[in-house]
A = this chain, B = another copy of it.
């Protein structure tokens, strides 16, 4: 019975990895749909989010079942509680991919991101993607080196947000209020996506090592 429980715990982790891989792919598609003004792809991201929510619901039920039937204590209980939090973070990341897709869709058939912002938005998307990729690794196999890199990635995202705001608030900005507002919202969506990923990574790391990552 005990080894079956271990297998159940491992299975929870596998679902978490699948879930973060899914939201990572969703954010990639969202960015592409945004920068290419691809309405079909954007719609796909929006409807696809239901699958992420379903992952979340299933995972919660699975964890509920394990808590009820196995009454785990100590580190097993911590692992399940962490998994609940991490799954919530991933669910929110899926929502944020959806928000990015919606910004693009609202401006159809025009491209929502003016040329001046494309490199910054692309960089934000890249950082978000890199962080999500690391979280997938950390959930699969928490290691200190990967977890510690999140600090630098987080700083990179912060820097990009400042750069974007500096561009849209510059008196030379020539793309109007709507593009500035869209840019500000997009930067917030990428940043929040990364924040949730970093939170998840921090929690997984703590749960496995007992050490708090401070940054």
Please give the residue numbers on chain A whose beta carbons come within 8 Å of chain B beta carbons, in ascending order. 60, 64, 67-68, 71, 73-74, 77-78, 81, 84-85, 88, 165, 168-169, 173, 177-178, 180-181, 184-185, 188
Which residues of chain B are near A165, meaning CB under 8 Å?
Answer: 181
Nearest CB of chain B from residue A200's CB, rounded to whole Å: 12
CA gap between A74 and B65 in the complex, in Å: 10
- Interchain Cβ contacts under 8 Å between A and B, 16 examples: A64-B81, A67-B77, A68-B74, A68-B77, A71-B71, A81-B84, A84-B84, A88-B88, A168-B177, A169-B181, A177-B177, A177-B180, A181-B184, A184-B184, A185-B185, A188-B188
Query: Residue of B at shortest CB range from A76?
Result: B68
Nearest CB of chain B from residue A178's CB, rounded to whole Å: 5
CA gap between A60 and B177 in the complex, in Å: 43
Which residues of chain B are near A181, meaning CB under 8 Å?
Answer: 165, 168-169, 180-181, 184
- List the 7 closest pairs (A to B, CB-CB), nearest first: A71-B71, A181-B184, A177-B180, A68-B73, A169-B178, A68-B77, A180-B181
Which residues of chain B are near A85, meaning CB under 8 Å?
Answer: 84, 88
Interface-centre pick from A64, A74, A177 (highest chain B CB count, 10 A) = A177
Which residues of chain B are near A78, meaning CB under 8 Å?
Answer: 64
Nearest CB of chain B from residue A71's CB, rounded to whole Å: 3
CA gap between A3 and B64 in the complex, in Å: 23
